[in-house]
Amino acid sequence: MMRDETVTRRRWLDDQQFIDLLGATNLIPGPNSTEMAIHLGFMRAGWRGLVVAGTLFILPAFVIVLGCAWAYVRYGTTPQAEWLLYGVKPVIIAIVIQALWGLGRTALRGWLPAAVAGSVCALYLAGFNEIALLFGGAIAVLLIRNARRLVTRGAALVVAAPLVMGGALPLLASASAEDEVSLTTLFLTFLKIGSVLYGSGYVLLAFLHNDFVVRLGWLTDQQLLDAVAVGQVTPGPVFTTATFIGYVVAGVPGAIVATIGIFLPSFVFVAVLNPFIPRLRASAAFSSLLDGANASALGLMAAVTWTLGRDAIVDGWTLTLAAMSAFLLIRFNTQSVWLVVLGAAAGAALHNTVL
């Protein structure tokens, strides 16, 4: 859609420029679709274009998810809503499994990325911190593949840059953790996630689970699955799951704070790193770092899918829904939105059958 609007219809840039921007979004943390919109706005109209394009890309999804969050808080605990979610949650697990399947075939080529992904999955389930595992896996691949290059100053700088960007914010957010909901903690937590999250939006699951379910205790596993379900069935970036979570834990102020926190780093990274993108893309060391980060992200996704799957798949019906959805997604690439709708309908039908 972006290419059709900006290259074909409006001729703001050519295909080569568009492809270069698309490749650049993989070099920085954050949601690729949002960063692509920000890149296009920056190229078209400088700083004003950066702000306008990014904001207007996020705004419709924010409003829609905010409305869904309001309805969820008001009606989500009614028997009818619970049965709808009963059918939706197994489908969400299947959608993440499809993402794992597709991304794994691309990111886990060779023994080293596969070994990193497996190790990260096991260590996360054993209780290790997801930030440490993400950067640890990335650095492990970097060291093994580029041992000789790391003695040079240039490679050392390439390693240091992403660690500086992602290392301080996790510590800051962890230090601010509180038992009661705090807007400051909410903002810093989502700022941290937006600053270090590489890969698919579904990798977001691992960070949300560790921060909001395990560390802060502000959400249950079921509420997290509900948040992902809403992010899946609404248009716009999956990162607007932050809007839903912010509203559930702290109302409208929480939704605003969470949304700003998770998307703000994307604006900063696009603005600051854009001039350095050609050199970074050509760097073997930085390429290895990204390979390791992607493998680690898949390991985190697998671990959290297992954890959340135990809450979503609770009987034979939900197991059947998950298995059928995964088959249709992987074999026929069925639209996930329709499967979510069918899952909700199946939950409602089972509810009527039980009654």
Whether residue 22 contacts residue 281, with contact meaning beta carbons closer than 8 Å, is answered with no
**By three-state DSSP, how is residue 344 classified?**
helix
Give yes or no for a contact between 186 and 254, defined as CB atoms under 8 angstroms apart: yes
Structure tokens at 290: 């990204």
The pLDDT of residue 135: 82
Threshold 0.85, pTM exceeds: no
Token look-up 């490749």 returns 23
Give the pLDDT of residue 230. 82
Tell me the C-alpha distance between 289 and 138, whole Å: 5
- pLDDT per residue, tens digit, the chain (355 aa), is 788 788 878 888 887 677 677 666 766 788 878 998 999 999 899 899 999 999 999 999 999 999 989 988 888 766 666 777 788 889 988 988 887 888 788 788 889 999 999 999 999 899 887 778 888 888 898 899 887 665 554 544 444 444 444 444 444 444 444 557 889 999 999 999 998 887 556 678 888 998 999 999 999 988 888 888 887 777 778 888 999 999 999 999 999 999 999 999 999 999 887 667 556 556 777 778 778 877 887 888 898 889 888 888 989 999 999 999 999 988 888 888 788 889 989 988 887 665 5
For the chain, how long is the longest CA-to-CA vector? 70
- Asked if residue 242 lies in contact with residue 258, where contact means CB atoms within 8 angstroms, the answer is yes
Cα separation, 83 vs 349, whole angstroms: 9
Using alpha carbons, select from 194, 171, 199 the residue that is nearest to residue 240: 194
In this prediction, residue 289 carries a pLDDT of 77
Looking at residue 168, its pLDDT comes to 43
pLDDT of residue 79: 64
- The residue type at 236: G
